[in-house]
């Protein structure tokens, strides 16, 4: 039987796993390590580097080294996230003709899904080296609060990398599978997932092999990168105060500072104090300048406590949506590298009044859960009966006066299908435009536009008489299909909702052909 893998495509690190019998196992990368930096770089000679090799030379080639690309998946150039990246990252971003975000890598401008595809292709090679055979199928995880654009962008990345996606699964849900595989007890669990770039909170019930997601919430732009940036800002502010030199415009210096910041943050998860030494960080006529600062865990917590606090309103909302109180949670699972921070662990313990499970490896559990899901899909996991996930955001259409009418509410179990009847607003109206939206705001203009299509040939009648049934269908991957049907004439129009300004199928085919010829 062909091998199927589970892939955690992370912001900072990625991980890949498979099922060995009834146990999930992590596959080492080509360097023998169990996690791979989600980093892509192009050298001066045009060589493409992925993972550890790319990370090692990041500070010598910052403009052509791409990190944290997951945060930009499905984003527009004018988005808040893109504009912050322009200020923070040494690599350059550009705007495509349709408003999409593009990244300058070497001499080319390429999309975030293409960069993610390079990481997925490397993970695929790791698996093929491990098994000694081709691997063409995968279950891939995404943050629970990824919208439809971001999920589709992830599927596009997999296609470019030569992988058929059997299922897109939410990261916290995958973690719960990894946790619950060998857990015989029935329980209500909370999965607090904070990785390098995103945050999710998911509440689930495990009951006799059924994994039922009750509610999910989160922020796709809150994670370890923000903690690193706080340390970077502190170091550069101190340097400016002491040396009267602003490092913010020196991309090479900033890359060194960022690497030192991440290293210090990691060390402070295990020690109370660390020293940051960056010799020759800047040169002036009077000589070279250096950074030499002590950073304590207490100072780090002062710098970043508000970032941890930002996650709690999402927890409160998820609990409210699931009609639960914190004391009703039996177990708490922490997922993602940022949750190693003692402050997060202590604040979560205080909130739920219980210690998180310690035996969970936050870097590997998501990929292992994805591998378990692959076993379920292949019929190899007899003990796991059913996985019931939810849609993270409400879906509906725009009506008159900029109103947003929800058809499928957030936290509805998927797959699902719902129909709602609408009518015309003008006499003898022969056409209606269906504007598909995703979000929670009452005004249509304040939600995310997913697609537009027209239903034509409606039977001529006074306003309010025709019945037009609008049906929304969400599959197990969270991909949306919408149809509109005039009951009188039985005319129907339907569409599979894809990112309205993402990569087209033709563009993906061109990218695949270009890679086959060895071009960037």
Where in the sequence numbering do the catalytic residues fall?
8, 70, 171, 193
- CA–CA gap between residue 65 and residue 256 (Å, rounded): 13
C-alpha distances in Å from residue 192, one per residue of 89, 318, 332, 348: 27, 11, 7, 9
Give CA separation, 350 vs 90, 302, 339, in Å: 39, 18, 15
Q: Round to whole Å and give the CA distance between 224 and 350.
A: 21
How far, CA to CA in Å, does 88 sit from each of 229, 254, 319, 432, 498?
8, 9, 34, 44, 30
Q: Which residues neighbour 344 within 8 Å (Cβ) at sequence distance 6 or greater?
A: 192, 194, 308, 334, 338
Q: What is the token pair recorded at 21? A: 């019998």
**φ/ψ bin of 145: left (φ > 0), alpha (ψ from -120 to 50), beta (otherwise):** alpha
C-alpha to C-alpha distance for 101 and 59, rounded to whole angstroms = 24
38 — phi, psi (to 5°)? -85, 70
Provide the 3-class DSSP secondary structure of residue 360.
coil
Q: How far apart are CA 222 and CA 206, in angstroms?
A: 28
Q: What's the DSSP call for residue 72?
A: G
Element (H, E) at 212: strand 210-219
CB 466 within 8 A of CB 421: no
**Residues 6 or more apart in contact with residue 217 via CB below 8 angstroms:** 144, 145, 200, 201, 314, 315, 317, 318, 321, 392
Q: What is the residue-wise DSSP string for 231-293?
A: HHHHHHHHHHHHH---GGG-HHHHHHHHHHHHHHHHHTTT-SEEEEEEEEEEEETTEEEEEEE
Q: CA–CA separation, 270 vs 395, rounded Å? A: 44
User: Which residue in 119, 131, 126, 120 sits closest to 32, CA to CA?
Assistant: 126
CA distance 173 to 381: 16
How far, in Å, are 186, 211, 301 from residue 361 at the CA level? 21, 20, 23
DSSP SS3 for 444: helix
């Amino acid at each position: 039987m062909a091998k199927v893998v589970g892939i955690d495509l992370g912001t900072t690190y990625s991980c890949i796993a498979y099922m060995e019998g009834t146990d999930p196992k992590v596959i080492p990368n080509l360097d023998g390590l169990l996690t791979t930096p989600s980093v892509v770089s192009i050298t001066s000679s045009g060589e493409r580097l992925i993972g550890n090799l790319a990370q090692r030379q990041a500070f010598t080639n910052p403009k052509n080294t791409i990190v944290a690309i997951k945060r930009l998946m499905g984003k527009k150039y004018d988005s808040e996230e893109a504009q912050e990246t322009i200020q923070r990252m040494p690599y350059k971003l550009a705007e495509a003709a349709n408003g999409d975000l593009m990244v300058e890598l070497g001499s080319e401008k390429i999309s975030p899904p293409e960069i993610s595809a390079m990481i997925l292709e490397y993970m695929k090679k790791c698996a093929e080296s491990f098994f000694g055979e081709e691997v063409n199928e995968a279950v891939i995880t995404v943050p629970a609060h990824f919208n439809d654009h971001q999920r589709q962008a992830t599927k596009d990345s997999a296609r470019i990398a030569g992988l058929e996606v059997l299922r897109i699964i939410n990261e916290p849900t995958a973690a719960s599978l990894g946790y619950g595989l060998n857990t015989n007890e029935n329980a209500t669990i909370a999965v607090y997932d904070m990785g390098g770039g995103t945050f999710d909170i998911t509440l689930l019930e495990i009951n006799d092999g059924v994994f039922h997601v009750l509610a999910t919430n989160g922020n796709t732009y809150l994670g370890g990168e923000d903690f690193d940036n706080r340390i970077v800002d502190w170091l550069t502010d101190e340097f400016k105060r002491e040396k009267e030199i602003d490092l913010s415009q020196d991309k090479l210096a900033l890359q060194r500072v960022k690497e030192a910041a991440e290293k210090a943050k990691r060390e402070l998860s295990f020690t109370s104090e660390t020293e940051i030494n960056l010799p020759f960080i800047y040169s002036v006529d009077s000589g070279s300048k250096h950074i030499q600062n002590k950073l304590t865990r207490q100072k780090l917590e002062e710098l970043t406590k508000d970032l941890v606090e930002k996650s709690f309103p999402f927890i409160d909302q998820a609990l409210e949506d699931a009609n639960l109180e914190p004391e009703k949670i039996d177990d708490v699972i922490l997922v993602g590298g940022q949750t190693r921070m003692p402050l997060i662990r202590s604040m979560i313990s205080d909130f739920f009044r219980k210690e998180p499970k310690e035996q969970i490896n936050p870097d590997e559990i998501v990929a292992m859960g994805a591998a378990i899901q692959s076993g379920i899909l292949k019929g190899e996991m007899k003990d796991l009966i059913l996985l019931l996930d939810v849609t993270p955001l409400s879906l509906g259409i725009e009506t008159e006066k900029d109103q947003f009418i929800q058809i499928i509410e957030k936290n509805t179990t998927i797959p699902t299908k719902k129909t709602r009847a609408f009518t015309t607003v003008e006499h003898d109206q022969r056409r209606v435009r269906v504007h598909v939206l995703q979000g929670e705001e009452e005004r249509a203009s304040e939600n995310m536009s997913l697609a537009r299509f027209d239903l034509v040939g409606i039977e001529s009648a006074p306003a309010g008489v025709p019945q037009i049934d609008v049906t929304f269908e969400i599959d197990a991957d969270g991909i949306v299909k919408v149809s509109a049907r005039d009951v009188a004439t039985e005319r129907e129009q339907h569409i599979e909702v894809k990112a309205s300004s993402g990569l087209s199928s033709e563009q993906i085919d061109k990218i695949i052909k270009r890679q086959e010829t060895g071009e960037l």
